[in-house]
Amino acid sequence: MNPRDVEPRLLRGFVAVAEELHFTRAAARLYVAQQALSRDVRRLEAALGAGLFVRTTRAVELTDDGERLLPLARRVLAAHEALAAAFACAGPRPLLVDLNTDGPSTARAVLERARELAPDCELMARFESGLTHAAAEVAAGRLDVSFGYAHGLDPALRARLAHRPVRYEPLAVLLPDGHPLGTRAEVPLDALAGETVYAGAGNPRTLEWTGLARELFAGRGIALAPPAPVAIGKEEFRRIMAKTRNPVLVTVDFLDLPGCVKRPLVEPLPLSPLSMVWRKGFSHPGLDALHQAAAGIAAERGWLDVPPASWRPAALTGAPGGG
């Protein structure tokens, strides 16, 4: 054993014997067998290449090397105890949870329930706007959890992550004020034929969302809007939308914006498969709470039920073009 690899237990045993100058009393103080304590002292002497005690039938005394080691061992053990105490008080580090957007969402509902289930854990929200970007951050350890269409990720990236289904989110269309379809309570997909609909094209953070939209629009006469400036924040998003006047593909929980109307899509009802995504092998009590929250809310609200006459991407159904 290298001296650099000496275990704190060996130093603890040495200090007890050095202070008691008696193996039996030192063993009783540490609540260990005397034979085990003697064995640990011999291991420490072998690691350091030095005798630490002079043992006689009547007494135990420190050698010069033992005298030299004693203050060093006490400092090492004090530092070790300080380290343990600091992290015992702090508990697990905060869990960084990406919600994609700072507004109402499925992910926010799961996070808020998880905070109730684990009040002693710190679950910190982040807003990365797109699972493609967030998943790479999760894989790199800069985020812990995100939400989105996991099957739309690059397979090489997805292979590094674990995910669980959370909800089949109904989709909607966000229409600028004055759009003819805004007078309807619901918008059939076929009514979007001839329209150019924005779904994040050109935004490298949202490739999975654009891919889902492309699959949904295929064969329906709906064009995917060309790239637009990436808007950060709802005010910039509203401004760009008002400028282009393109309908926007969103989920039904997407925040309401001034100057726009949101209408659910139907015939068929398109569903976006939302999953929770985390690093393979990662564990944290906050992650356990998120799992519990997602399962509980999904059961209560029927989030994983698939209504009849609905559409899901082919990655989930195996049918060409989804179904």
Please report the domains of the chain, with CATH numbers, ordered by start residue: 3-90 (1.10.10.10), 95-317 (3.40.190.290)
> Cα–Cα distances in Å, from 117 out to 17, 110, 112, 279, 292?
47, 11, 9, 22, 8
**How much is the pLDDT for 89?**
44
Q: How far apart are CA 107 and CA 101, in angstroms?
A: 9
> Token pair 């949870």 is at which residue?
97
Q: Is 299 exposed, middle or buried (0-12, 13-18, 19+ CB in 10 A)?
A: exposed
State the pTM of this model: 0.69
CA 299 to chain centre: 22
10-residue mean pLDDT series, the chain (323 residues):
80 92 88 90 92 88 94 89 62 87 90 95 90 93 95 93 96 93 96 94 91 96 84 67 82 86 96 96 93 97 94 80 57
Evaluate whether 272 touches 251 at the Cβ level (below 8 Å).
Answer: yes
Q: Is 107 exposed, middle or buried (0-12, 13-18, 19+ CB in 10 A)?
A: buried
Q: How far apart are CA 51 and CA 39, in angstroms?
A: 13
For the chain, helix (H) and strand (E) counts, in that order, are 11, 13
Q: How far apart are CA 222 and CA 210, in angstroms?
A: 13
Q: How far apart are CA 280 and CA 278, in angstroms?
A: 6
Radius of gyration of the chain (CA): 31
Q: To 5 degrees, how large is the angle CA 138–CA 235–CA 237?
A: 60
Who contacts 289 (Cβ-Cβ below 8 Å, separation ≥6)? Answer: 114, 115, 117, 118, 121, 123
